Chains A and B, each alone.
Chain A
Amino acid sequence: MVRREIQRFCIYTLFLTILVLPMVGMRGPEFEARRAFTVLSVLVGVLLLTTVFRLLRETSFYRNLGQRIRQRRDRALGKIQVLPRPVALGSLFFLLALFPFAANNYVIDVAITVLIYVTLGLGLNVVVGLAGLLDLGYIAFYAVGAYTYSLLNLHYGIPFWFALPFGVVIGSLCGCIIGYPTLKMRGDYLAIVTLGFGEIIRLVLNNWDNLTKGPNGLLGMDKPKLILPSFSDGGLSWTVVPLKSLPSLYFVILAVALLTVIAVHRLNNSRIGRAWIAIREDETAAELTGIPTTLLKLLAYALGAVFAAVAGAFFAAKLSYTNPNFFVFLESCVVLSIVVLGGMGSIPGIILGALALIAIPELFRELASYRMLAFGGAMTVMMVLKPEGFIPATRRKRELHEEELESEEAADE
């Protein structure tokens, strides 16, 4: 056992040494190996730790420790669940509403970004988590929402709230346009085609100079406005208040995110939601039981696109600026990882996922260049260690274990 671990350690160290070789830079005639050496020592350190961990795992001490931790956790979770649900949700909402009064602008800005991604994650959850259609070009709908608002506002002066319905309609139309040709496809092919569509939309935004000003982007859209009653001079009058400050924008996106949560929660338990899950599980069987699969798959795309379009319109309004480079493939990956890391189909999981993927990297701002590196690595590690996500949906958790059995059977065929 110990011998095998040591052997493994040596082989891996050799591998890592070869893999960091290209990081040896050349300054003038000499080799500059310090950076490569640092990276290598960190990697070997991690490797050493895992080796020690693997050896420890076999001892009885560790097994007892694991059991104790699990007991503690279950007890703590039990305590949380004692709180009646309305009270828990109410206090959470209260905290969210009071949040901007206690935080500075930077924190509120991060919170707004997190809420945008919560909305996006929940929207993608409809497509991926419920209907099981893997979409790698989801950010395109976000772009559609952002550009729809920007163009309507810049050319026709349509305010945010009136532009939203247009954004929703155009977004869902785009969803159907993308959804229609992919109806016949499943799994991986669907992934690559949606990726292609996402890139096409980005390229169109980038190349259609007359309409979108190309890579320079669109500038100077209005912020959302609210019409509020005021009682200043005697009688009641209505004043238009532009929501310029970050806290007010925070409330707008909080409302959007909450509406999305409610909508997705209701969808999840509705007839449509159950039909989607049936399609995800076995499309042929779903069709045979009388579910209109074509219609429902299109609906999933359209609804997913709607949430993204709303988030996109808000994003453009908040920044007063859009450009095609906001909507690169990597962003689709981020949203997809929010859905998957959080736990597919689970609303609390997705909220936690958005927090983890958007807020935690903000804490390490100084290490900005290493953020995406860590992000990619974390994605792989998470998939290897805990493919069901942080907070798996109960249904999903059960399915994942079935899937393992099924894939074994499928390999037989």
Chain B
Amino acid sequence: METQAFLVQQIVNALFLGSIYALIALGYTMVYGIIQLINFAHGEMFTAGSFIGLIVLGALQRMGFVESHFVLSMFVVFAMAMAYVAFLGVAIEHVAYKPLRRASRLSALLSALGMSIFLSNGMMLSQGVSDRAYPPVLGTGGIHVLGARITYGQIFIVAFAVALMVGLNLFVKKTKLGKAMRATAQNRRMAGLLGINIDKTIRTTFVIGPALGAAAGVMVGMYYGSVRFDMGFIPGIKAFAAAVLGGIGNITGAMVGGMLIGMVEVLWAAFLPSEWKDVTAFIVLILVLYFRPTGILGERVIEERV
């Protein structure tokens, strides 16, 4: 009974962590799919989202809004954070990536690194070096399943993450803009010739990817109760590992990869020394790249890109 409860608990944790990684990984994979760039600043967007969530949530709580209209205020918090970070993403794309679209890949990569350093230091300067506490809004209530305790917060976060991913899938598969995105990812020049506005499509990618990252940031902030200016770095790399694991450029792949990385990490922390858990993502990444460089679902990746 004990072990069963323990296992269920770990699976719940893995689902939670996996959906966070999946959300971040989507941003990486979409940007990479469309302009073949590792967006190093993506981890910082996650952090920025978390901070905006903190600010909006703090303001709402001060006004006593959270107690009276809980669902609405949650909606406002997520919407504001996602909207702001989408703005940030578009701004960064315009300043740092757009002029380099024709330049060598290394230049674009370094430009992204520069942006990452710039953003994380900007956040350090404006929000301080220490941990900032998140108001405890998710509560401690929960349900018991097979002896394991699942908080409402966990259920809410996983459900919301899944909803976002389903929404994204529908967007990419069904809408015209989504179709334009897929076409641009496949062949930018050809898509342009067929009358697709490339700039607009790329901008859309930089709206969606960072917005999903921001949602993940708010979730992490709410769940763990604190944010820090450099908290985006490690999840960013792990999420990138997840994107590669699933096959970079592949949206379903990013979700699968994120879940797998979350699972591996939680299981590692449960059974093996937990101070080494940050190493797991890297080891998984290296093994995947060594044995199957195209990832689990990525048949599309051609030799050049590997």
Contact = CB atoms under 8 A, between A and B. Distances in A.
Given A192-B38, A207-B275, A387-B107, A412 B189 contact: yes
A109 interface: no
Interface stretch (B96-104, B133-141, B174-182): B96-104
A375 B125 CA distance: 14
Interface residues of B, number: 64
B121 A380 contact: no
B67 to A, nearest CB: 18
Given A197-B282, A200-B282, A384 B100 contact: yes
A19 B87 contact: yes
A191 B121 contact: no
B218 to A, nearest CB: 13
A400 B105 CA distance: 11
Given A22-B55, A196-B282, A372-B117, A185 B189 contact: no
Contacts of A29: 62
A333 B88 contact: no
A19 B290 contact: no
Nearest to A408: B102
Contact of A407 (B62, B91, B104, B237): B104
Nearest to B238: A196
A196 B285 contact: yes
B84 A22 contact: yes
A372 B240 CA distance: 24
B276 interface: yes
A336 B282 CA distance: 21
Interface in B12-39: 32, 36-38
Given A192-B38, A200-B282, A380 B111 contact: yes
Interface string A173-202: 000000001101111110111011101100
A262 interface: no
Nearest to A128: B106
A383 B107 contact: yes
- Chain B CB within 10 A, most for which of A134, A369, A379, A382: A379
B108 interface: yes
A378 interface: yes
Contacts of A207: 275-276
Given A26-B59, A193-B285, A376 B116 contact: yes
Contacts of B117: 330, 333, 372-373, 375-376, 379
Contacts of B199: none
Interface residues of A, number: 58
A379 B122 contact: no
B1 interface: no
B105 A188 contact: yes
A383 B112 CA distance: 10
B290 A181 contact: yes
30 contacts: A22-B48, A22-B126, A26-B62, A29-B62, A134-B106, A134-B109, A181-B286, A181-B290, A185-B289, A187-B305, A189-B306, A192-B38, A193-B286, A196-B282, A207-B275, A336-B113, A369-B124, A372-B117, A373-B121, A373-B125, A377-B114, A378-B114, A380-B96, A380-B118, A384-B96, A384-B99, A387-B103, A410-B304, A411-B188, A411-B189
Given A191-B38, A197-B286, A376-B117, 17 more contacts: A19-B87, A23-B126, A186-B305, A187-B105, A188-B38, A188-B109, A199-B278, A200-B283, A207-B275, A369-B124, A373-B118, A376-B119, A383-B114, A384-B96, A384-B99, A387-B104, A411-B188
Q: Which 10 residue pairs across A and B have the least CB separation, nearest first?
A: A379-B114, A376-B117, A376-B118, A196-B282, A380-B114, A383-B111, A387-B107, A373-B121, A372-B121, A411-B189
Interface of B: 32, 36-38, 48, 51-52, 55, 58-59, 62, 84, 87-88, 91, 95-96, 99-100, 102-111, 113-122, 124-126, 188-189, 233, 237, 240-241, 244, 275-276, 278-279, 281-283, 285-286, 289-290, 293, 304-306
